[in-house]
Amino acid sequence: MSYPKLVIDRKIMDANIKDVIGKCAEQGIEVVAVVKGVNGLPGIMQIVMDAGAKTIASSRLSQLREARKLNPDIKTYALRIPMLSEVEELVESADISLNSELEVLEKINEVCEEKGITHNVIIMCELGDLREGIYNKDELKKVVLEVENELTSLHLLGIGTNLGCYGSILPTVEKMNELVELADFVSETIGRKIEVVSGGATTSFPLVARGEMPEGINQLRIGDGLYVSDLDECFHYEMHDQEALTLQAEIVELKEKPSHPIGEIAVNAFGNKVEYEDKGIRTRALIAIGKQDIGEYSHLRPLDPDIEVIGGSSDHTIVDITNAKRDYKLGDIMEFHLMYETMLMSTQSEYVDKEYI
């Protein structure tokens, strides 16, 4: 095994996932386990399934197929609104999909008819975050009526929404009530009660944990919160006591240097203009991990509270260790907990070793 390395603690991850699934189950909410944030790593998908997840979701269909290889009985759930060009692949890989375009739904129906199969769909509703979902109530009515009455190879499972992604909109009791009202409207429109009301992602979970989730929401699609606790400050809820993922990187240079660059300032390696604070001479550790492995370096959370990640480029990250109590040496390993972006990037990088403990 070599560095950089992502250490995955099976026991902690299992406990964290069971905690989330359990809290939701107490309130009649099914957790659809989202694996796209960990790139559907088979080792992690196995932990997720062993912890009790019955449905695996991803935006990438190849990850759903991988999940089925691990467990042929698992239900698969496609998150990203399907491309017209992937409909064939979609119905082969997913039992359920999220949708917002009638044209796509018609195409899915057509393909299912040819194959003699039924596909389950959840219609996404726009509640203000402004990514996917139907915004206009008349359009929603038209879509659900057509799916229910004319697209006979589709089963309209329910409706859902997505928050906290593009528009940074907080899932609140009001937003959830809005979705429940829309669900009632859809049930009334089609003349039967829809089975699923899917109230969002990890960012909706604190409502469940605080006992504030309105009745009527019976599904959440959770990824992030199964693996890391990176949103605690924002949502005033402590997700997990212990972190299951730890990233390790090795120190390749240790030197005292000025904190302000010397010379004429242009742009950095990625073409951005950056402001540099002059804090005088600092002791810095250069570690062998970079944006190619982790994305944004500021989303690394050092386990040592006395060090600070101050910058990086493709293959290097710079850590200010001036105030560190630990006596760092060349070749020492620094450890970090992850946030969504650093998890997403490091799990997909072939340059980051994965070790399960």
Angle at 130 between CA 127 and CA 131, to 5 degrees: 110
Cα–Cα distance for residue pair 40/93, rounded to 1 Å:
14
Whether the CB-CB separation of 259 and 277 falls below 8 Å is answered with yes
Taking CB atoms, the residue at the shortest distance from ligand PLP is: 223
| Interface residue with ligand PLP, options 109, 202, 317, 347 (CB under 6 A) | 202
Span near ligand PLP by CB under 6 A; candidates 16-24, 217-225, 261-269, 271-279 = 217-225
Q: Can 36 be counted among the known catalytic residues?
A: yes
Q: Which residues contact 231 (CB under 8 A, 6 or more apart)?
A: 202, 203, 224, 225, 239
DSSP 213-278: PPTT--EEEESHHHH----HHHHT----SS-SEEEEEEEEEEEEEESS--S-----TTS-------
Interface size with ligand PLP, residues (CB under 6 A): 14
Q: Which is nearer to ligand PLP, 74 or 344 (CB)?
A: 344
Count CB neighbours of 226 within 10 A. Answer: 29
DSSP 348: H
Angle at 135 between CA 133 and CA 141, to 5 degrees: 95
Span near ligand PLP by CB under 6 A; candidates 9-17, 222-230, 236-244, 306-314 = 222-230
Task: Find the binding residues for ligand PLP in span 70-129 (CB under 6 A).
Answer: 79, 98
Q: Check residue 36 for interaction with ligand PLP (CB under 6 A).
A: yes
Q: Which is nearer to ligand PLP, 221 or 299 (CB)?
A: 221
| Interface residue with ligand PLP, options 27, 46, 59, 322 (CB under 6 A) | 59
Q: Check residue 299 for interaction with ligand PLP (CB under 6 A).
A: no
Q: Check residue 208 for interaction with ligand PLP (CB under 6 A).
A: no
Residues in the site for ligand PLP, rule: CB under 6 A?
Answer: 34, 36-37, 59, 79, 98, 162, 201-202, 221-225
Q: Which residues are catalytic?
A: 36
